[in-house]
Chain A
Amino acid sequence: MLRRIDWLTVFLYGLLVFFGWINIYSTTLSDTSLSLFDTSTLYGKQLFFICISLVSILIIMFVDTNFFERFSGVFYVLGLILLLGLFPFGKVIGGAKSWYDLGFMNLQPSEFVKVAAALALAKYLSDIQTDIKNKKHQFYAILVILIPLLLVLPQPDPGSALVFFALFFVLFREGLPIYYLGLALLFIALFLFTLMFGTIWVAIGLGMLVSLFFFFKRPDLKIPTLPLIIFIVGCLVVSLSVNFVFENVFEQRHRDRFGLWLNLEKDATKLEQIKKTIGYNTYQAEKAIESGGFFGKGFLEGTRTKGDFVPAQHTDYIFSSVGEEWGFIGTALVIVIFTLFFLRLVQIAERQKREFSRMYGYGVIAILLIHYFINIGMVIGLLPTIGIPLPFFSYGGSGLLFFTAMLFIFLKFDASRLNEGI
């Protein structure tokens, strides 16, 4: 059994957890020197969480492979109940009612639901009777994703809600038409372009694109007129509704985040103000990373880290500490490790013989990847501020525990793939 574990993935996982803890140690170190295992310190706690995660790995390894598949529905329902239970019993941390207080640690059920949703989706899709080309089945599959999303959103935890979207990759892999993705991207693009340039310019641009299309298309290609008109009108309606949504549905802080990200604010003094308030985190994180230069300032030598200039640095902004203390060498290394890690997981997923394992694998990859993408993208200033942790790196017990469990359940499937018939 142990010999069949994919040790390369385990090694990369170990590297990430180890390097993550090193950085947590640096960001949460205070002057009074305490033992590494002292759980009154954050780094001590994280070490404790790492131990719990290791225990969870052992448990997963001894549990029967079919357990997870068989009980995936149960997990899913249990997860939904836990999410619902938050509304009366949840503990508020950082303005979001997302935690259960277990005494020794705070448990964030949305982390558990991520695993459960990935399992449930895989289970549903791998069912012999499910046909992804069937619109009704597509709808059910999407429902599996949307229910937890809608429960997480009002906590409010838009970051975690966003993560569930990643599960769509599983659907794409299993045959959901790619143009769904195209439509989603088109929608996002329309939204952003309208914010940046206004509806009129978007309409003009759209008109030019359509004209170009007609100009270059093969003469014998017949374009059905009705869908084209629907497409254009649809785009315009979306574009027209953007301002309404932006002004009325979004809250001011969201507007500010978008404004900062897209450089919408032209007034210099207001921009300065935004940078100091809503953009403060991003600004400080970027500056901290920048100040690391190529070689970094050295372990425990990050001045901005020591001075606590980057808020939430041990959780969501942990990557800025890597940037400051380890420089470009450190950040590039982390990116390379993550990239190798993900590519390896895709490779493993593709070699699964059972559809369930492959689909679950894709779910794991998609969830981890979107965390990685949004977190680092936000810290280095490419994306607006969305608070989700960096897998294996950020401080946090539930996060680490469930990311680990999620990954090792997949590795367990992989390790036992040769024993099973189809």
Chain B
Amino acid sequence: MKKLLLSSIIIIIGITFLGRLSYLQLFSFSPNQILEDPAIKTVYDYPERGYIYDRNGELLVGNQPAYDVMVIPRETKTLDTLEFCGLLGLEKEDFILKMKKARRYSPRLPSVLVAQLSKEDYASLQEKMRKYIGFYIQKRSLRDYVTNSAANVLGYISEVNETDLRTNPYYTAGELKGRTGIEKQYEDALRGRKGVKYIQKDRFNRDIGKFKNGKLDTLPELGKEIHITIDKTLQEYGELLMHGKRGGIVAIEPNSGEILAMISGPTYNPDLLVGRERSKNYTKLHYDSIARPTWDRSILAEPSPGSPFKTLNALAALQEGVIQPKTKFRCYNGFYVGKNKKGCHCGGGVRDLNSGIFNSCNAYFAGTFRKIYGKYKTTDEGMDVWEKHMKSFGLGNYLGTDLPTGRPGRIPNKAYYDKAYGDGRWASSFIISNAIGQGEVAATPIQLANMTAAIANRGFFYTPHIIKQIGNNSSLDPIYTQRRYTTIDKEHFEPVIDAMHNVYKYGTAKWLRIPGIEIAGKTGTVENFTRIDGERVQLTDHSIFVAFAPVDNPKIALAVYIEHGYYGGRYAGHIASLLIEKFIKGEITRTDLEKKMLEKTLEHEYAKPLSGEPFKINEYYW
């Protein structure tokens, strides 16, 4: 016993020590040593954020300097709080609160105390800064917008929040990050990589040299400049035309899938989301739940497509061989579904494919649609075939663009109706509205523009994209350069395109002809409903227009969607014509059209359902 006493004590001590050491060095060890080490100061060198240019090399977004007041809580000494607050333009309570927050984030790492000082404030503060130990000014660059347009396309950047800091180890407090649009999608390229310098410090916080002789230090990697496919002139002009109107416009170059313009109305000046007023402005924009300026209608709105959708039904019917271009249907100023008559504005008479499209005859397409389904034994089978054709145009699913948001739209399939009505409890009469682009189909403006591009290309499209060039590298991801073929054979497109051409020559858009440009288009007038006090109320129809031009060698395909603009040939048609002319000719010859669009607003229409009083819809005069 007494001989073993000492030996056992030696062994027990050894085991205890090893236990404690493994607790310290193996379990408590955090791999993030460099950032937590009080002996290492991390100094960042921020590269300038990449510039954004339009397709023609015109600058859209540059940078301007800004100055953040940073604090490292651990290093602060007692200070004259009131005087310092006065210099910063802060309330004392605010200051205390911010200091607390900074300390909670990390006593050792810098936090932002006041973000984005103006140059004048910076100048006056800079001289006195040395008095305040633990505080310093960090230069950053802020966005400087050369254009007032394309706010939703370009997106905005803002300071990283606590979630970003938790989820992405790259960022440290006070850094900026793209939140929407291009800024978000191409954040990594635009941002570049900050350079890092690690400095060895002693316990008096003095620098005593480079950590590991600078072996881990990195040089900043410049943000890459980005060229996007947007045409600045077209974008700005489109936004001008959207004055006082709500809706979305997307223009695509059919032979590349490049997005030429992406306009959403109402919009806002991107400059509002820069600088110290940013959060105030953002709140104002974000909480405008009526006009919703930050909601990009060009990619997020999902109206029923209306009559432009008829062209796809015609193509599907031709492909299925159930109609020929010469096949005729009689219009009784409408058509019958069982005993119910549904109306038509085309004027009645016998319609073939051509006049069915350019007069937008509902009866003709109801007949066509029935024939597609009639080819198959059951509605289910017909539905599958129809769904396949429609989806091949990029409808009913996310398009796969390089925009950070989007919506799938809707091509209803049998599962959809089974769910809505019950299996076997619906028939083709339930879905006949889809023949004319009403009913359950829905598509975003970008899907409509893309569908138009597919028609313009006679059977294929490229996934729409907004990136043209990153840095010096103009070769894109192959998903943007591969053709996506529709299920319709090429020869079926000509009769439909002829008819769409005739929409301008003789049809619903004959007043919108532009001298010297051959346009193919299709109007759409879309019934829509809302709920006011729980009651379903019909509102003035949406005005929709799709078009591409020139007919033989399409340079632009676009879709215009104007909320409550009534006939497709009115607001949407006018805007489409003007944009096509602007893009192809570079100038406007039909100044009467232009004047009308620049002056007219739809605010009165948008005020109706909010007024709380009874109102008329689809008023004739405009």
Partner-B contacts on A (CB < 8 A): 31, 169, 172-173, 175, 178, 286, 289-294, 301, 303-304, 306-309, 323, 327-328, 331-332, 335-336, 338-339, 342-343, 346, 350, 362, 365-366, 369, 372-373, 376-377, 380-382
Contact = CB atoms under 8 A, between A and B. Distances in A.
B14 interface: yes
B28 A290 contact: yes
A180 to B, nearest CB: 12
Given A291-B33, A335-B14, A369-B10, A306 B24 contact: no
Interface of B is mostly: helix
Interface string B127-145: 0000000000000000000
Contact of A307 (B17, B33, B208): B208
12 contacts: A173-B5, A289-B24, A291-B33, A292-B25, A303-B39, A304-B38, A306-B208, A328-B22, A346-B6, A376-B17, A380-B17, A380-B20
Given A303-B37, A307-B39, A294 B26 contact: yes
Contacts of A290: 24-25, 28-29
Contacts of A306: 39, 200, 202, 208
Given A307-B200, A307-B203, A339-B11, A289 B21 contact: yes
A312 to B, nearest CB: 12
Contacts of A366: 6
B10 A331 contact: no
A380 B37 CA distance: 18
Closest 6 CB pairs of A and B: A307-B39, A303-B39, A339-B14, A328-B25, A293-B29, A307-B202
A328 B16 CA distance: 14
Interface string B2-37: 110111011101101110111011101101010011
B20 A382 contact: yes
Nearest to A323: B25
Interface string B34-61: 0011111000000000000000000000
Interface of B: 1-3, 5-7, 9-11, 13-14, 16-18, 20-22, 24-26, 28-29, 31, 33, 36-40, 200-203, 208-209, 211-212
A308 B205 CA distance: 10
Contacts of A172: 2, 5
Nearest to B3: A350
Contact of A382 (B2, B7, B16, B33): B16
Contacts of B31: 293
Given A323-B25, A369-B9, A307 B201 contact: yes
B208 A328 contact: no
Given A173-B5, A307-B200, A307-B203, A335 B21 contact: yes
A343 B7 contact: yes
A346 B25 contact: no
Contact of B14 (A173, A178, A294, A336): A336
Contacts of B38: 304, 307, 309
Contacts of B7: 343, 346
A303 B200 contact: yes
Contacts of A376: 17
Contacts of A362: 6
A292 to B, nearest CB: 6
Interface of A is mostly: helix
Contacts of A293: 25-26, 29, 31, 33
A165 to B, nearest CB: 14
Nearest to A338: B14
Contact of B25 (A294, A301, A365): A294
Given A292-B25, A303-B37, A362-B6, 19 more contacts: A169-B5, A172-B2, A290-B29, A291-B37, A293-B25, A303-B40, A303-B200, A306-B202, A307-B202, A307-B203, A335-B14, A335-B17, A336-B14, A343-B10, A350-B3, A366-B6, A372-B13, A377-B17, A380-B20
Contacts of A342: 10
A327 B31 CA distance: 13
Nearest to A376: B17
A173 B26 contact: no
B32 to A, nearest CB: 11
A175 B24 CA distance: 39
Given A301-B212, A328-B21, A338-B14, A294 B6 contact: no
A232 to B, nearest CB: 27
B24 A323 contact: yes
A371 B24 CA distance: 22
A331 B24 CA distance: 11
A169 B6 contact: yes
Contacts of B14: 335-336, 338-339
A291 B3 contact: no
A286 B24 contact: yes
A178 B211 CA distance: 55
B217 to A, nearest CB: 14
Q: Which of A172, A301, A307, A377 has the most CB of B within 10 A?
A: A307
Contacts of B3: 173, 350
Contacts of A350: 3
A307 B40 CA distance: 9
Contacts of A335: 14, 17-18, 21
Contact of A380 (B2, B21, B211): B21
B1 to A, nearest CB: 7
Contacts of B203: 307-309
Contacts of B200: 303, 306-307
A350 to B, nearest CB: 6
A331 B21 contact: yes
A173 B38 CA distance: 48
Contacts of B33: 291, 293
